[in-house]
Structure 1
Amino acid sequence: MIPAQRPHLKHWPRRLPLELTVPETTLWFNLEVTAARYPHKVATWFLGQALRYAELKAQAETLAGWLQARGVRKGDRVALFMQNCPQFLVAFYAVMRADAVVVPVNPMNRVDEFGHYITDPETKVVICAADLAGIVAEANQRLPESQRLAALLVTRYAETLPEVLEPGLAPQPAIEQWLRADPPLPAGATRWADAMAAGLRPQAPPTATADDLVLLPYTSGTTGLPKGCMHTHRTLMPNAIGGALWGHASAESISLAVVPMFHITGMMYGVIGSVMAGLTMVLLPRWDRELAGRLISHYKVTHWTCIPTMIIDLFASPHYKSFDLSSLVYLSGGGAAMPEAVAQRLLDEFGLSFAEGYGLTETAAPSHANPPERAKLQCLGMPIFGVDSLVVDPETLEELPVGEVGEIITSGPMVFQGYWKHPDATVAAFVEKDGRRYFRTGDLGRMDEDGYFFLTDRLKRMINASGFKVWPSEVELLLYGHPAVAEACVIASKDEYRGETVKAMVVLRADAKGRVSEQDVIAWAREHMAAYKAPRIVQFVDALPKSGSGKVMWRLLQEAESRA
């Protein structure tokens, strides 16, 4: 139960229950029900090609039979290594039907990194895209024979594309060439088409229960290799239900699925919650602002969960005013705060409010969200269904008063079970207060008088300039107010006098290049923020490094600066 004194309850939407009655069934059962209810409804549109719910279920059953024929048993791990495509959903639910565990892997990983996703989860089978098969095969070959995969299944994106794309639905030529590529198959690998043509059936009815391990997404911490987060059907189900309720989604909704499905947010809104609600997903395999705008217009997309950088990029398109965004009824996202200037443009030009949310891999995506009817800008929102969060002193773990910055700790039904093979890290990740178990997010933030939470920064990401604490994300949001700034990332730079000083890596808008200097941005910053926060150094760059989910990889920039 949520303690009755929590201030956000005064602003809780009247249309929503405080807590959810969560089904004690499995993710496979969700697909069974939806396919029975809406067999002919389109589950996915992939650049003009439809996959209907009955087809999705039938293909998943066929692939489950193939997996079992390759030795996959209940609880075995199967890795998915591909961009957004219908095959991702088929493979995901095939693993569910086989009572096995999905290990989603970022398709940006290279050979040296991928071996960890075979050895650590003891992966039995990898299902990957054709352009990534060589990476898997080489990583696998480097391992001792006892640790190698039992099978490698390879799919081409073109297998689920129309033979000829409609002009309005076609990506850039280079992207279409990549989608249709047919590189040589590694020795011993099986083609997707051959696996499906085998027509195998599952060997027995599913036996998984709500508390069985089902998903093992990996998350990077401040030290060591990525750790697997153990999620069960029971920990994934609350957000599968809650996401639809919170965002007014139903079987009538059409969603743009562009956040990568390997990422917990893309998986929750493009694979798990979407199938449970029976909505239609318009899949985008890689971010392309022009194509995204055309897809929203063509399919009359109603729901879009995204990264704010995508909105920023969409606005940078010279064609954005030609896009018809009138069908959108719910626009949400996270991973970074939405700059106020960009949010205001959304409201002024399209009448859309951006509802930010907050969550982690460990919390199966959202633990906090802004209700669309009372959203606050640059805000994580309030704790959602059945969630209780506190702001505590990171050292003493004592709860802090309203407005003070501390570590956010969270308790709720979607919190993971712990880190795979890391019992010590699991123990360190939790704290008990008043008989309730809370997960230590490692994020610094504050709570306002309305019970809404605001992110300050990661616990380890803070600049100490002459004793003044500077939170980089706050400076970044302020920099977005400069008319020439398209993107910004703030890091610490060494300073003999101050110890550390503030440095901003800035991507200029196209029309500002050559007209605005680094010194101009520094002077502007001094006018618009406290002197200790204002960047002393500004460096213009062509682009900021981003993860597969679209987040700016500030650690890479910070590490490079520290080595300089």
Structure 2
Amino acid sequence: MKPATSPKPPFRSPAWPPGLPATLHTPRTSLFYNVEAAARRYPDKTAIQYFGTAISYAQLQDEIERMAGYLQQACGIQPGDRVVLFSQNCPQFIIAYYAILRAEGVVVPANPMWLEAELAHVVGDSGAVAAFAGSELYQRVAPLHGPALRHVIVHDYGGMLRDDGGLPVPDWLREPAPALHAAPSGAMPVAWDAASAAGHRPLPHQAGYDTLCMLAYTSGTTGNPKGCMHTHGTLMTAAVGSQIWRSSTPESVVLAVAPMFHLLGMQNCMNSPLYLGATVVLMPRWDRALAADLIERYRVSVWGAPPAMLVDFFSQPDVGSRDLSSLAYLGGGGAAMPDAVANMLQERFNLPYVEAYGMTETASFLLSNPRHKPKRECLGIATFGVDARVIDPETLKELPQGQTGEIVAHGGQVMLGYWGNPEANESSFVELDGKRFLRTGDLGFMDEDDYFFMRDRLKRMINASGFKVWPAEVENLLYAHPAIHEACVIAARDERRGETVKAVVALRPEARGSAEADAERIMAWCRERLAAYKVPRIVAFVDALPKSATGKIQWRALQEREMQAQDPRA
């Protein structure tokens, strides 16, 4: 085993992609400038494909300018004012996001699954003064409209749909928007079309690389969500770096189904392709059959998706007959891709899955597998200008290659810190060799080729009679079982072992009721392939596992439910 090292940029792994530099010169401009530049270069090119409705780069810039003008002239938005964006994927999401930036405001993306109390916390914590909201979400915004939010602009998901292209547009998207009603305070929301048609134009754009432009809220493991402070520069560093790393071009066609309120969708499906001048094929919600239609119709070449979404997509009965030949890049992160699924993608569809790693705190892109030399179930290597290490989470000392500890990272994409939360900043950063490193809270190790491998979340380890069990390892094996469609491993209380391993699984439809879909048989199958202390002692069957809006399996929800069920005080 090699001794611990302290790589300093411009450090490059032995697996570094041929021809790529160790560091990049990130543009010192704002994110909005990317759209402005693309509109000048490719005015008639399709920026957004929304079913059969094509929005050109020239039209996109005009829509952004109109809405930015309304924010400044009608809503009084000043530089640095926070504006909430509460919506599912749609053209208006992209326009509103860039309009806030064009108006020198700060975007506060909000999860459309949040209920009133969650939204109220974020509005109050950020000090937001205005909001954009999807029409079906305004009822959750209304109690805040007046007391906290001075202005709310409401959009209809079908409002910019001019042509369906013969594609199966969901019924909910075609439904007319409900009539606007006053909030309890008496404040009236403004319809998107009215705001756009007002004809206001914004002041000259002054924001730059170091200007705060987004507060992205992340729940973490405990307490209320915390706002990650990102500048145009931190987001630009990740957006530009990811596209050069992946060899994307202005001719790339990107399937945008990952929710854009989340950094995975925001960066990979919006900021990055618009920087390139590429085309975004937009999906408002996940629908595997529609995804196949869009890939075929618009010759999608790039698709970033979490493993759970790809498992669902490639389990379609007719997927083998669909024309997926345009796909050139299939990648993602958020959870390890099960080896059995990766094998299927490679063998049946000749599609390697390129895994990467990032967080809300790092603007998504941080570590990534090189396209020419990926490793399975691996986070990848440190990318442009990133110094990533593994430390002992208690002593904070750097560990040698091969030893498991907490992954920490320093790079241009790392957030400034948590908004108004010095205590969280104190515990989330550590100084090493004079540089500020983000503590990710993820446990992993680095191999002899400088690839990072994930073990699990620092707070997710199962302690079974003193033996450490990492749920991700057991889950990965379960995905290879012929009867299992999805799996999540959690801790269950055990009088003798303290904690024991419990597997919650969803079966493949064709396996339900079969002999192999039996808890005892599944446990016996695991005993043949795992050390005894890692084998699930309990197997529970569900129709489907709970997932977040980004398609991640919500292990924490299952874990909390398990603890509540076993709490004798309950």
When normalised by structure 2's length, the TM-score is: 0.95
Structure 2 letter corresponding to 1:297:
E
> Which residue does 2:157 correspond to in 1?
157
Confirm or deny that 1:120 pairs with 2:121: no
Following TM superposition, by how much is the alpha carbon of 1:178 offset from its aligned partner in structure 2, in angstroms?
A: 4.1
Following TM superposition, by how much is the alpha carbon of 1:248 offset from its aligned partner in structure 2, in angstroms?
A: 1.4
The answer to whether the 8 A contact 2:214-2:230 is kept is yes
Structure 2 letter corresponding to 1:66:
Y
SS across alignment from 2:289: helix
Confirm or deny that 1:78 pairs with 2:83: yes
Counterparts in 2 of 1:328-343, with a 5 A limit?
A: 328-343=327-342
SS across alignment from 2:126: coil
Which consecutive aligned stretches of 4+ in structure 1 deviate over 4 angstroms post-superposition?
A: 4-8
Structure 1: how far apart are the matches of 2:348 and 2:531? 31
Distance 1:243 1:474, change over 3 A: same
Counterparts in 2 of 1:223-372, with a 5 A limit?
A: 223-372=222-371
Of 51, 65, 70 in structure 2, the residue corresponding to residue 66 of structure 1 is: 70
> Which residue does 2:39 correspond to in 1?
35
Counterparts in 2 of 1:470-509, with a 5 A limit?
A: 470-509=469-508
Q: Deviations along 1:477-527, whole A, 9 cap, x unmatched?
A: 010010111100000000000000000110000100111122221111111
Structure 2 letter corresponding to 1:33:
A
Following TM superposition, by how much is the alpha carbon of 1:424 offset from its aligned partner in structure 2, in angstroms?
A: 1.8
SS across alignment from 1:160: coil
Structure 2 letter corresponding to 1:30:
N
Following TM superposition, by how much is the alpha carbon of 1:5 offset from its aligned partner in structure 2, in angstroms?
A: 9.8
**Unaligned runs of at least 5 residues, structure 2:** 1-5, 183-187, 566-570
> Which residue does 2:115 correspond to in 1?
110
Structure 1: how far apart are the matches of 2:132 and 2:8? 47
Counterparts in 2 of 1:459-470, with a 5 A limit?
A: 459-470=458-469
Following TM superposition, by how much is the alpha carbon of 1:93 offset from its aligned partner in structure 2, in angstroms?
A: 1.0
Structure 2: how far apart are the matches of 1:230 and 1:74? 15
Moved more, 514-523 or 532-541: 514-523
Following TM superposition, by how much is the alpha carbon of 1:15 offset from its aligned partner in structure 2, in angstroms?
A: 2.0
The answer to whether the 8 A contact 2:15-2:370 is kept is no
Structure 2: how far apart are the matches of 1:403 and 1:505? 30
Structure 2 letter corresponding to 1:556:
A
**Unaligned runs of at least 5 residues, structure 1:** none
Structure 2: how far apart are the matches of 1:6 and 1:342? 35
Following TM superposition, by how much is the alpha carbon of 1:8 offset from its aligned partner in structure 2, in angstroms?
A: 5.7
Moved more, 117-126 or 483-492: 117-126
Structure 2 letter corresponding to 1:107:
P
SS across alignment from 2:83: strand
Structure 2: how far apart are the matches of 1:341 and 1:214? 41
Following TM superposition, by how much is the alpha carbon of 1:243 offset from its aligned partner in structure 2, in angstroms?
A: 1.3
Structure 2: how far apart are the matches of 1:393 and 1:300? 46
Following TM superposition, by how much is the alpha carbon of 1:223 offset from its aligned partner in structure 2, in angstroms?
A: 1.8
Following TM superposition, by how much is the alpha carbon of 1:117 offset from its aligned partner in structure 2, in angstroms?
A: 2.0
The answer to whether the 8 A contact 2:462-2:490 is kept is yes
Structure 1: how far apart are the matches of 2:273 and 2:175? 27
The answer to whether the 8 A contact 1:65-1:201 is kept is yes
The answer to whether the 8 A contact 1:309-1:550 is kept is yes
> Which residue does 2:564 correspond to in 1?
563
The answer to whether the 8 A contact 1:494-1:501 is kept is yes
Distance 1:518 1:6, change over 3 A: farther
Following TM superposition, by how much is the alpha carbon of 1:4 offset from its aligned partner in structure 2, in angstroms?
A: 5.8
Structure 1: how far apart are the matches of 2:535 and 2:361? 34
Structure 2: how far apart are the matches of 1:186 and 1:235? 39
Structure 2: how far apart are the matches of 1:259 and 1:124? 27
Confirm or deny that 1:18 pairs with 2:25: no
Structure 2 letter corresponding to 1:189:
P
Confirm or deny that 1:550 pairs with 2:551: yes
Distance 1:75 1:5, change over 3 A: closer
Following TM superposition, by how much is the alpha carbon of 1:183 offset from its aligned partner in structure 2, in angstroms?
A: 2.0
The answer to whether the 8 A contact 1:104-1:262 is kept is yes
Distance 1:6 1:405, change over 3 A: farther
Instruction: Give identity over the alignment, percent.
Output: 51
> Which residue does 1:177 correspond to in 2?
172
- How many residue pairs are counted as aligned between the two chains? 552
Q: Deviations along 1:392-441, whole A, 9 cap, x unmatched?
A: 10000111111111000001110000000001211221111111211100
Structure 2 letter corresponding to 1:51:
I
SS across alignment from 1:128: strand
Structure 1 letter corresponding to 2:62:
A
The answer to whether the 8 A contact 2:461-2:471 is kept is yes
Following TM superposition, by how much is the alpha carbon of 1:184 offset from its aligned partner in structure 2, in angstroms?
A: 3.0
Structure 1: how far apart are the matches of 2:416 and 2:10? 25
SS across alignment from 1:214: strand
Structure 2: how far apart are the matches of 1:540 and 1:378? 25
Structure 2: how far apart are the matches of 1:209 and 1:277? 19
The answer to whether the 8 A contact 1:505-1:540 is kept is yes
Confirm or deny that 1:51 pairs with 2:49: no
> Which residue does 1:374 correspond to in 2?
373
Structure 2: how far apart are the matches of 1:339 and 1:403? 21
The answer to whether the 8 A contact 2:10-2:23 is kept is no
> Which residue does 2:192 correspond to in 1?
192
Distance 1:234 1:216, change over 3 A: same
Structure 2: how far apart are the matches of 1:184 and 1:525? 56
Confirm or deny that 1:134 pairs with 2:135: no
Structure 2: how far apart are the matches of 1:249 and 1:7? 23
Structure 1: how far apart are the matches of 2:473 and 2:255? 29
> Which residue does 1:527 correspond to in 2?
528
CA root-mean-square deviation: 1.4
> Which residue does 2:3 correspond to in 1?
none
Following TM superposition, by how much is the alpha carbon of 1:181 offset from its aligned partner in structure 2, in angstroms?
A: 4.1
The answer to whether the 8 A contact 1:137-1:186 is kept is no
SS across alignment from 1:209: coil
Following TM superposition, by how much is the alpha carbon of 1:166 offset from its aligned partner in structure 2, in angstroms?
A: 3.8
The answer to whether the 8 A contact 1:490-1:503 is kept is yes
When normalised by structure 1's length, the TM-score is: 0.96
The answer to whether the 8 A contact 2:211-2:231 is kept is yes
Q: Deviations along 1:1-54, whole A, 9 cap, x unmatched?
A: x93699962110112111110111111111111111111110011111111111
